[in-house]
Amino acid sequence: SLRRLGFLGSDDQVLVSAATQDNHLLRLCTSSSAMWAANAATVAPSADTSDGRVHMVPANLQAMFHRAIEAETTTRTLRSIFADPAHFCVHEPLPSTSHFADEGAANHTRLLTTGQGAVHILAWGRRAFGPLLTTGPKRFLARQTYEASAALGRALALAPARVLTPQQHPQGIDAGAFHTDVLAVGHANFLMLHELAFLDVQALRTQLGALCGPDLHLVLASDAELPLADAVAAYPFNSQVLTLPSGEMLIVAPEDSRDNPRAQRFLQRVIAEPNPVTAVHYLDVRESMDNGGGPACLRLRVLLRDDEAKALSGRVLLDDALATRLEGWVSTHYRDRLTPRDLADPSLWREVMTALDQLTQILELPALYTFQQ
């Protein structure tokens, strides 16, 4: 990326030149967002697609430079893991322009009810074509376009009748909820959302009722019950919703939701009502929260049948042995501190390349990075 921006010479010379001439660009090019797995791609399972394959569209993340430069490597990584064309189709990212700005699964929700089939919610914040919206956000740029969400529905080979494209509420965006998963979370036949997650939440409820039937459990927080500022600060909607072996569901929420009285009361109401969720487990994700993301930001749901899981390339399904190896890799290669000055130190980048080369070997994947090729 630095070479494309005009810094020339050897790796060492490029780093020194960037640090000397435009240190801000160096920081942008060295700021990784790969931990936000929810922004990596949008995924549709084979049960929902017209050709019976798992479809994935890597996000172009066009709205932010330091994220946009990762789309190429993300695509290469996904194609290395989901390599079997009989089971998987990993598309190219949408064109990387403001017209098709795509933030990945953070704006995607899949719901499934018995006998009704799946419904995919692909939310957006602004339109790229046509007249400007009078209902757009005023403080922050909406990152996802309608045109991107519509294109995703087509690329993922979904039936148009099973795709909904509601507009994100501009008040939610201006409060810092750039992505849908900050104010709404859905899993199977359960949907939990804030009334300011979408511009016309009542219309969405009507559409979901018609498509999902009576088995859908929808829990709505009003702004009076849970003020928008508390919802964004405590991230109760940015939770993992998991199905337990018993069939009951569990919400995994950040500790911030327990520490915020209004957020905690709302989640207690959720588990007290008749719906599949029976418990809330609070998890310390402070480092993630400090950088703007809760539990849901760290996940990318990829629903696979047993035969599809067996078709995965590499060693990418976590078990105790792999966890031990990865923990050892982290202990060996992660520095315990990093300063801005280190970014211009060529030895840091040699350490990084050594670590990533070993990581691909542990995961039994082919070369993913340009320095390996």
Q: Which residues are catalytic?
A: 103, 179, 297
User: Which helix (H) or strand (E) covers residue 15, if one does?
Assistant: helix 11-21
Residue 188 is given by DSSP the state B
Q: In whole angstroms, what is the distance from residue 167 CA to residue 180 CA? A: 10
Residue 372's Cβ-side half-sphere holds a number of Cα atoms within 13 Å equal to 17
Total Cβ atoms within 10 A of residue 329: 15
Interhelix angle 11-21/346-362, rounded to 10 degrees, is 130
Q: In whole angstroms, what is the distance from residue 217 CA to residue 214 CA? A: 8
Q: What angle do CA 179, 89, 319 make, to 5 degrees?
A: 75
Q: In whole angstroms, what is the distance from residue 156 CA to residue 211 CA? A: 19
Q: Which residues contact 290 (CB under 8 A, 6 or more apart)?
A: none
Beta bridge partners of 188: 111
Check if the beta carbon of residue 108 is closer than 8 Å to that of residue 122: yes
Collapse the DSSP code of 17 into the 3-class scheme (helix H, G, I; strand E, B; otherwise coil) and give the result.
helix
Check if the beta carbon of residue 96 is closer than 8 Å to that of residue 71: yes
Q: In whole angstroms, what is the distance from residue 236 CA to residue 183 CA? A: 8
Note the Cα 271 to chain centre separation in Å: 25
Give backbone dihedrals phi and psi of 188, rounded to 5 degrees, phi first: 55, -120
Collapse the DSSP code of 108 into the 3-class scheme (helix H, G, I; strand E, B; otherwise coil) and give the result.
strand
